Amino acid sequence: MHRHLSRDTQLERLIFPKPGFPDDWYWCNLDRVIAYMDAHHISHVGAMNVMSTRSMLDSRMRRAREAGRSERDIAEARVFLREDMRQRVREMNDWSLAAQAREPRIRTFIALDPTLFEDASVDELERCIALGATGVKIHPASSQHLPDHPALLPVYERCQEAGVAVLACSTPRPNPDGVAYAEPLGWRPVLRAFPRLRLALAHFCDDAWDERLEMAREFPNLWFDISGGLVDAQNPATWRASMLATQAVRVFRKVGVERLMWGSDTVYDPMPSVRQILGLPFTEDEQEQLLSRNAMTFFGLR
């Protein structure tokens, strides 16, 4: 349900480094992903496009100041670099959508940053819908905006109208400015304004799972992924996983098992979380929902 796909092994090593891993162990790229899926009986992968354009811009501006550039030069450079970043995002969306066109088992969720595209956000959405986009990936923490950013409102409206899914990061870690842009409760205004939006909040089992449970009660159309997994004897707690595996059956049933989808994110091996689900006292039907059927519905494939 939730994976970040790179163009090739070298780029995956650069963006998602795993110290000590040989090249053969990097599989979440266009060169290797289908072979990995075949080997592990994975029918489809949700390719979530993300680019940390805010941190890239800030880094370049910081280096310009350190080099003694004037504030006027920096302001002019920022205008140029913002358009350069917009074009980079467009190109990433293009290659990922081209990969989906060649291999329908890859389901592309395009990157969309309202702080970068601003009023042109809906234009980029329309362009990508025409190219076959499965969904949109929103990352408030990385882009430093709240879920109801004004430039996203027409995006949500169009997604609701077209039946295009949205996956959003909802991990409530504060940014350096002290704002937790992605906290789950921050999605209330969006869900109230767009009750038919097919929205999933990522990382259900991190330390804000109680907030997501509250949101699930309030919004019956809200979905979740469980990327990051659960905590057990073989899988220690991480910033993406705080819920004990022994609590999962009880809590997932409170949400509604039909609203939760297996996912892994990029920094995690996906197989341990599969084994966790299969090792818990879910019914066989619930296991099938978590590992396959729910995501197929969310992707619009059934």
pLDDT in the model for residue 268 = 65
pLDDT in the model for residue 62 = 78
In this structure, which long-range contacts are made by residues 56-64, counting pairs with CB atoms below 8 Å and at least 24 apart in sequence?
Answer: 56/85, 57/81, 57/82, 57/85
Largest CA distance in the chain: 65
Residues 6+ apart with CB under 8 A from 188: 215, 218
Query: Please, are residues 28 and 5 in contact by the beta-carbon 8 Å criterion?
Result: yes
CA distance between the termini of the chain: 15
pLDDT in the model for residue 267 = 64
Going from the N-terminus, what domains does the chain have, and what CATH number goes with each?
9-29+44-299 (3.20.20.140)
Six token digits for residue 155: 């995006």
Query: Please, are residues 31 and 9 in contact by the beta-carbon 8 Å criterion?
Result: yes
Q: What is the C-alpha separation between 105 and 108, in angstroms, rounded?
A: 10
- What amino acid occupies position 118? E
Provide, for the chain, the percentages of residues in helix, strand and coil under a 3-state DSSP scheme, each rounded to the nearest 5. Answer: 50, 10, 35
Query: Please, are residues 203 and 48 in contact by the beta-carbon 8 Å criterion?
Result: no
Sign for the CA dihedral angle at 72, 73, 75, 76 comes to positive
pLDDT tens for the chain, 302 residues long, are: 999 999 999 999 998 898 899 998 999 999 999 999 999 999 999 999 998 877 777 777 777 777 788 877 777 777 778 888 999 999 999 999 999 999 999 999 999 999 999 999 999 999 999 999 999 999 998 899 999 999 999 999 999 999 999 999 998 876 777 888 999 999 999 999 999 999 999 999 998 999 999 999 999 999 999 998 999 999 898 888 899 999 999 999 999 999 999 998 876 678 889 999 999 999 999 999 999 999 999 999 87
Six token digits for residue 187: 């999605």
pTM exceeding the 0.95 threshold for the entire prediction: no
